[in-house]
Amino acid sequence: MPTVTNPLHVRPPVWITHSRLPISHEECPFNIQFVATDAQFYCCHQRALVKNPKSNWEMGHSSISTQHNATYTVENDWLSTNKETQVCFGPGNEFSPITGSDGQPTEDTSAYNMYSDNECIRCRTRSFPVPQKLTLNKFTGVMTGTLDRLMNWANLRCPDNPPTEKWEGVNACLCPEGFYYDETNYGTCGTESMNIIYPYRFTVIAFNTAGFSSRTFTLPIINNWSSSRDNFVGEVVHSNDLNKFILDGEYVDNETYLTKMKQKGYFPTEGCN
């Protein structure tokens, strides 16, 4: 929320929220409030308006974000509706230093960077790159909802030579066309093949009448192994009769087996803690 009452003293927002967000679970409730000083609005964009140096988020470092003098325009009804809109940013104005009672400057205006481009972006609050099934409140900066299954939205890719590091070594290719589970190929594709945590990155822009500051956040998401397990049980194609599901002495189809075994207390869910 704005804290400066003199409009001549408003400066571009300064990010407070650390760029590494708390570790979360897919298919679980999520809630966080993004905070930047004196921000009027927040929205997501597919990329940062300006490039900032990358940080080592695995070591707990926060990404650098710089303040930019800029102007912006939005569609007339954006403030009174929940819809997404196009926001156009342009160069701002040079700031006159704030002075004390003795007339001497009390701030270093060299900390602000003049934005030199003219660019219009889609200011997103509920669609990609916002994590699917989450919504960002453009006024309060609160992002809330229930994280969807990674397989449904995170655009997971497998590089030709995937790295082996625990955090970045995400080997989560979408399964090839015609793929089906059998007793040998569980964990060879899809989110169940992931190395524990998927780091999803997205950019949030905080802006006001003086300018903007963008920050790239990393949301570490733990794959829900229980949903991947259920998919496997529900889709596995048995290679012979000896491996088919038997329940209470009778052969049953996959879904019947999974449903009734859950009713018996087997196949617990992972949970969200």
Instruction: Convert the pLDDT of each residue in 115-161 to its tens digit.
Output: 999 999 888 998 888 888 999 999 999 999 999 887 777 655 544 44
- pLDDT at position 174, please? 59
Distance of alpha carbon 131 from the chain centroid: 5
The pLDDT of residue 14 is above 60: yes
Band of residue 13 on the pLDDT scale cut at 50, 70, 90: very high
Per residue in 180-190, pLDDT (tens digit) is 666 566 666 66
> Tokens 């009804």 map to which residue?
77
Per residue in 69-88, pLDDT (tens digit) is 999 998 777 777 777 888 99
The pLDDT of residue 67 is above 60: yes
The pLDDT of residue 107 is above 50: yes
Q: CA 77, 78, 81, 86: dihedral to nearest 10 degrees?
A: 120
Per residue in 206-229, pLDDT (tens digit) is 999 999 999 989 898 887 767 777
> In the chain, at which residue ranges do the beta strands (DSSP E only) sit?
24-25, 29-33, 41-45, 68-73, 85-91, 113-114, 119-123, 134-136, 142-146, 197-207, 211-222, 246-247, 250-251
Backbone dihedral region of 89: left (phi > 0), alpha (psi from -120 to 50 degrees) or beta?
A: beta
- pLDDT at position 69, please? 94
Rounded to an integer, what distance in angstroms lies between the CA atom of residue 237 and that of residue 253?
A: 10
- Arithmetic mean of pLDDT, 227-235: 77
Using alpha carbons, select from 207, 187, 227 the residue that is nearest to residue 67. Answer: 207
Please tell me which of 29-43, 64-78, 156-170 the model is most confident about, judged by mean pLDDT: 29-43
The pLDDT of residue 15 is above 90: yes
**Residue 255 CA: distances (Å) to CA of 14, 120, 243, 251, 260:** 52, 49, 15, 12, 8
Q: In percent, how much of the chain has pLDDT > 90?
A: 27
- pLDDT at position 243, please? 67
**Cα distance from N-terminal residue to C-terminal residue, the chain:** 31
pTM of the model: 0.74
- Of 14-23, 44-53, 154-163, the range with the lowest mean pLDDT is 154-163
Rounded to an integer, what distance in angstroms lies between the CA atom of residue 24 and that of residue 196?
A: 12
The pLDDT of residue 191 is above 70: no
User: What mean pLDDT value characterizes the chain?
Assistant: 79
Three-state DSSP class for residue 144: strand
The pLDDT of residue 1 is above 70: no
The pLDDT of residue 31 is above 80: yes
User: What angle do helix axes 225-235 and 254-263 make, rounded to 10 degrees?
Assistant: 140
Contact 221, 22 (CB under 8 A): no
From the number of C-beta atoms within 10 Å of its C-beta (0-12, 13-18, 19+), residue 55 rates as: middle
